[in-house]
Chain A
Amino acid sequence: MSLRSLLPGLVLVCLVLGAALLSFAWTPYDVTKLVIADRLQTPSMTHWLGTDHFGRDILSMLMVGARTSLAVALVAVGIGVGLGVPLGLTAAARHGGALDELIMRTNDLVFAFPALVIAILITAVFGPSALNAIIAIGIFNVPVFARLTRGAALSLWTREFILAARVAGKGAVRISLEHVLPNLSNLLIVQATIQFSLGILAEAGLSYVGLGAQPPIPSWGRMLAESQTLVTLAPHVALFPGLAIVASVLGLNLLGDALRDWLDPRLRHAR
């Protein structure tokens, strides 16, 4: 098992990340400028990936759209980790107590709300926006991380080194932070990668149905929604945003799988 297995995923992720970062400084064309005369051009030397129905350069829109996708998914993972991990650690430290029960039952409740349903609820009340998409996907991520953290932390709490720390007089909070959390980091990194890729898919789905980022902010999902009626006329308009989503999700999933194998010594020796 070598670092080489990380390569395919890493390359794809870096490509998308690089495009997103580059778009802050430079894009081939201005994505806010509509040039109706240039509309629906097929890929050429002037427009590498062609133009959409408003004559906007598709490559430039994809680069700026990458920002939306990555930002929404990343913040949503942040919400999931930031709330879910402390909740899971608390539940494990208070295993069998009322607090554990309360946290886990609340988790079950939140789990019953798919991200799309949360987004529908929030949008019905506050109207659609990228922020609502972040909140919806973020809330969905919380029980995922809480359950994972609690499950893994529970098995750590029975180990000798934790017992030693308890004998030494350390409290539950210190043990959770100093001994449990560091041992969970690998697991959490892998799960974060998976939730990141699910977040990109969810963001695309939400903006496709109009519950995510609103114009003029470019987003891959909305590019696909706008291309739907043009698909016979100009298939390339529908092709590239989809490929961008596939590349990001595939890259993150490959990276997650490789990271899991690489970080888990048992799997490393099995190879």
Chain B
Amino acid sequence: MLVWLAGRLVSLVATLLAASAVVFLVIEVVPGDPAAYMLGMNASEQTVAALRTELGLDRSGIARYLDWIGGWLQGDFGTSYTYRTPIVDMVAERITVSLPLALLALSLAVALAFPAALFAASRRGGGADAGVMGLTQLGIAVPNFWFAMLLVLLFSIKLRWLPSGGFPGWEAGIGAALTALLLPAIALALPQASILTRVMRSSLIDALGEDYLRTARAKGLSSGAALWGHALRNAMIPVLTIIGLQFSFLLAGAIIIENVFYLPGLGRLVFQAISSRDLVVVESVVMLLVAAVVLVTFLVDVAYAWVDPRLRTR
């Protein structure tokens, strides 16, 4: 296991380095000079040159890449061109919105999918099963930002139960903050819950056909007890993989949903940065998102190998 883990760690670092090189290269090829852009049309050549030196834009690409990576390792993402503040502070502030949103959505999705899948699998082939499956088809087909708009229309405008957007900040109290995140999280959770339900249902049904389950039934367990005590744990393995694979969709979804609810998260930050051509901010947020996806994939791999030792030999 240790050798396997060491190998996985090496490939994790290699993937992160390669991804950082790709992000850096893409941002590097950008036409136009950020310094000239920041200073506007009327700036003199000397001022632009001075700012280029200040921002470190006059050095070679490799030197800047190494600087950038070195900075990341020390928790320094650089300075925003537009706001002139450390990017790490901006990101740290925004992440307290995006991360809880993604986690809340994930928890909601699991909480919805779990009973739905158990219900459908235990009534396999019946009308109830078909009903749940039909609903999940719909859940996958509904774009989450549109679903979010419908939720706002119903719960914020018609019923006035929940806020239609904005974020009071965590200092306003956990209750107020969670209330602001609830509708966005529900909208994000819907497609995830639908996919999870389908995967969980089919892996439960597979587990129900196994010999050990027949044994459990033969020794006198009711079908419910057999499902709960034996099938469920085995059926969780593929579900874990799907949660890992879906993580990048969840992240992307969160970025889009933040726009519907005007939430001050990473998504809003990156879109503002795009429109003001604040490329170092775009670069940092993109790298952060990619690193998150790579890390989650790695963690799922480790969890998977821990649960099922056969996979370590691959």
Residues in A with CB closer than 8 Å to B297 are 111-112
Q: How far is the CB of A266 from chain B (nearest CB, A)?
A: 14
Stretch touching chain B among A71-79, A121-129, A152-160: A121-129
Taking CB atoms and an 8 Å cut-off, the chain A residues in 225-271 that contact chain B are 227-228, 231-232, 235, 238, 241-242, 245-246, 249-250, 253-254
Chain A, interface size: which category?
A: 35 or more
Interface string of B241-271 (1 = CB under 8 A from A): 0000000110110011001100000010011
Asked whether A208 lies within 8 Å of B142 as measured between CB atoms, the reply is no
Interface string of B14-49 (1 = CB under 8 A from A): 110011001100110111000000000000000000
What does DSSP make chain A's interface, helix, strand, loop or mixed? helix
The answer to whether B150 has its CB under 8 Å from any CB of chain A is yes
Contact of B145 among A109, A113, A208 (CB under 8 A): A208
Asked whether A205 lies within 8 Å of B143 as measured between CB atoms, the reply is yes
Asked whether A114 lies within 8 Å of B149 as measured between CB atoms, the reply is no
A205 vs B73: C-alpha distance in the bound complex, in angstroms? 33
Asked whether A246 lies within 8 Å of B142 as measured between CB atoms, the reply is yes
Given A224-B149, A242-B150, also A114-B293 (CB < 8 A): yes
Contact of B19 among A113, A209, A227, A241 (CB under 8 A): A113
Asked whether A121 lies within 8 Å of B149 as measured between CB atoms, the reply is no
The answer to whether A108 has its CB under 8 Å from any CB of chain B is yes
Which of A112, A125, A232 has most chain B Cβ within 10 Å? Answer: A112
A122 vs B297: C-alpha distance in the bound complex, in angstroms? 24
A224 vs B140: C-alpha distance in the bound complex, in angstroms? 18
Interface string of B276-289 (1 = CB under 8 A from A): 01010010001001
The answer to whether A117 has its CB under 8 Å from any CB of chain B is yes
Q: How far is the CB of A259 from chain B (nearest CB, A)?
A: 15
Of all chain B residues, the one with the shortest Cβ separation from A249 is B141
Residues in A with CB closer than 8 Å to B290 are 112-113, 117
Residues in A with CB closer than 8 Å to B143 are 201, 204-205, 208, 221, 224, 242, 245-246, 249
Q: How far is the CB of A191 from chain B (nearest CB, A)?
A: 15
The answer to whether A116 has its CB under 8 Å from any CB of chain B is yes
Asked whether A209 lies within 8 Å of B252 as measured between CB atoms, the reply is no
The answer to whether A120 has its CB under 8 Å from any CB of chain B is yes
A220 vs B286: C-alpha distance in the bound complex, in angstroms? 26
Asked whether B252 lies within 8 Å of A125 as measured between CB atoms, the reply is no
Of all chain B residues, the one with the shortest Cβ separation from A201 is B143
Asked whether A124 lies within 8 Å of B279 as measured between CB atoms, the reply is yes
Residues in B with CB closer than 8 Å to A86 are none
Asked whether A209 lies within 8 Å of B259 as measured between CB atoms, the reply is yes
A221 vs B137: C-alpha distance in the bound complex, in angstroms? 20
Residues in B with CB closer than 8 Å to A242 are 142-143, 146, 149-150
Asked whether B293 lies within 8 Å of A112 as measured between CB atoms, the reply is yes
A123 vs B255: C-alpha distance in the bound complex, in angstroms? 15
Asked whether B19 lies within 8 Å of A109 as measured between CB atoms, the reply is yes
Taking CB atoms and an 8 Å cut-off, the chain B residues in 105-149 that contact chain A are 137-138, 140-143, 145-146, 149
The answer to whether A82 has its CB under 8 Å from any CB of chain B is no
Q: How far is the CB of A168 from chain B (nearest CB, A)?
A: 32
Contact of A124 among B30, B149, B152 (CB under 8 A): B30
Which of A120, A232, A246 has most chain B Cβ within 10 Å? Answer: A120
Contact of B149 among A210, A228, A250 (CB under 8 A): A228
Asked whether A114 lies within 8 Å of B252 as measured between CB atoms, the reply is yes
The answer to whether A115 has its CB under 8 Å from any CB of chain B is yes
A47 vs B312: C-alpha distance in the bound complex, in angstroms? 62
A209 vs B266: C-alpha distance in the bound complex, in angstroms? 14
Residues in A with CB closer than 8 Å to B141 are 197, 245-246, 249-250, 253
Q: How far is the CB of A116 from chain B (nearest CB, A)?
A: 4
Q: How far is the CB of B199 from chain A (nearest CB, A)?
A: 14
The answer to whether B300 has its CB under 8 Å from any CB of chain A is no
A195 vs B27: C-alpha distance in the bound complex, in angstroms? 28
Asked whether A125 lies within 8 Å of B26 as measured between CB atoms, the reply is yes
Interface string of A201-219 (1 = CB under 8 A from B): 1001100111000000000
Contact of A120 among B15, B149, B259, B282 (CB under 8 A): B282
Asked whether A114 lies within 8 Å of B271 as measured between CB atoms, the reply is no
Of all chain B residues, the one with the shortest Cβ separation from A243 is B146
A85 vs B256: C-alpha distance in the bound complex, in angstroms? 31
A196 vs B11: C-alpha distance in the bound complex, in angstroms? 31
Q: How far is the CB of B241 from chain A (nearest CB, A)?
A: 13
Taking CB atoms and an 8 Å cut-off, the chain A residues in 83-126 that contact chain B are 105, 108-109, 111-117, 120-125
Q: How far is the CB of A217 from chain B (nearest CB, A)?
A: 19
Q: How far is the CB of B249 from chain A (nearest CB, A)?
A: 7
Which of A105, A209, A221, A249 has most chain B Cβ within 10 Å? Answer: A209
Q: How far is the CB of A23 from chain B (nearest CB, A)?
A: 21
Other than the known A105-B15, A121-B26, what 4 A-B pairs have Cβ atoms closer than 8 Å?
A: A116-B256, A125-B30, A235-B153, A238-B149
Q: 24 A–B contact pairs at CB < 8 A?
A: A105-B11, A109-B15, A109-B18, A109-B22, A112-B248, A117-B252, A124-B279, A125-B27, A208-B143, A208-B256, A209-B259, A224-B143, A224-B145, A224-B146, A232-B153, A238-B146, A242-B142, A242-B143, A245-B141, A246-B142, A246-B146, A249-B140, A249-B141, A253-B137
